């Protein structure tokens, strides 16, 4: 969020080229803070909101990996999704966890363990960068490949993406991570999952965290596109 003021004008300038050279494109933004920048892209470009995808799947990739470790199973056997802000208020949907395609109940102890490990990720990544000069960017490569594959092959795969919302999850004029069905035209459908009370409460907190950034983007751009 600290670099939002520097990145909004960059997105605005890129939008000029998008409108000139590829107005029919599906656009994937993988720059942080991705949720407000995807909203800025929407306001600047004039494109349909469902052709704009904010890449935020790293949260879900790491959530799945940490949950698999806690359960003692291979990551490839686990499904798990994160929604809300791509940031500190992200919502870990333990209700979405499946092993071998079947829902599983997650104990409070495992939830506590995984939440703490997720909270520790920024410090762990910084230690890795300092020690090796490398980042953990392989998650971005894996996730972006999955998003592009779903679009190019028109698979209808459900992946977590930051999408501008128009009533979904009770939100308007805001972009955040939601489960989205992807195809050749971008976002085919936004899935509104029924969440347990604690996850609903966490999601509302994430929405409240994101709202000021969205209003900042609107004020900066001095515009607000009518849906």
Question: What are the residue numbers of the active site?
Answer: 86
Is the four-CA dihedral 153, 158, 164, 170 of positive or negative sign? positive
101 is written with which tokens? 């395609």
The strands making up 157-166's β-sheet, listed across from edge to edge, are 27-29, 52-55, 157-166, 172-183, 186-190
With H, G, I as helix, E, B as strand and everything else as coil, classify residue 101.
coil
CA atoms of 117 and 129, how far apart (whole Å): 18
Check if the beta carbon of residue 87 is closer than 8 Å to that of residue 33: yes
* Gap between the terminal Cα atoms of the chain: 26
CA atoms of 170 and 116, how far apart (whole Å): 29
Q: Which residue has 């104990």 as its token pair?
A: 107
Interior angle at CA 56, CA 159 and CA 35, nearest 5: 120
CA atoms within 13 A on the CB side of 146: 19
185 is written with which tokens? 């035209």
């Amino acid at each position: 969020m600290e670099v939002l003021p520097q990145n909004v004008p960059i997105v605005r300038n890129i939008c000029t080229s998008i409108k000139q050279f590829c107005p029919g494109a599906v656009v994937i933004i993988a720059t942080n803070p991705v949720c407000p920048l995807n909203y800025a892209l929407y306001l600047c470009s004039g494109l349909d909101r469902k052709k704009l995808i904010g890449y935020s799947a790293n949260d879900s990739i790491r959530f799945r990996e940490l949950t698999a470790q806690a359960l003692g199973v291979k990551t490839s056997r686990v499904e798990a999704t994160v929604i809300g802000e791509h940031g500190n208020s992200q919502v870990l949907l333990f209700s979405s966890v499946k092993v071998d395609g079947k829902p599983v109940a997650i104990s409070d102890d495992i939830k506590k363990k995984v939440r703490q490990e997720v909270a520790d990720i920024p410090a762990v990544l910084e230690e890795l960068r300092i020690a090796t000069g490398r980042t953990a960017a392989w998650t971005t490569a894996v996730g972006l490949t999955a998003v592009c594959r779903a679009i190019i092959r028109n698979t209808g795969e459900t992946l977590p993406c930051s999408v501008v919302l128009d009533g979904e999850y009770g939100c308007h004029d805001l972009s955040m991570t939601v489960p989205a069905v992807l195809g050749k035209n971008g976002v085919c459908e936004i899935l509104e999952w029924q969440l347990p009370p604690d996850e609903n409460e966490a999601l509302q907190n994430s929405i409240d965290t994101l709202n000021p950034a969205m209003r900042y983007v609107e004020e900066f751009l001095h515009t607000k596109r009518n849906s």
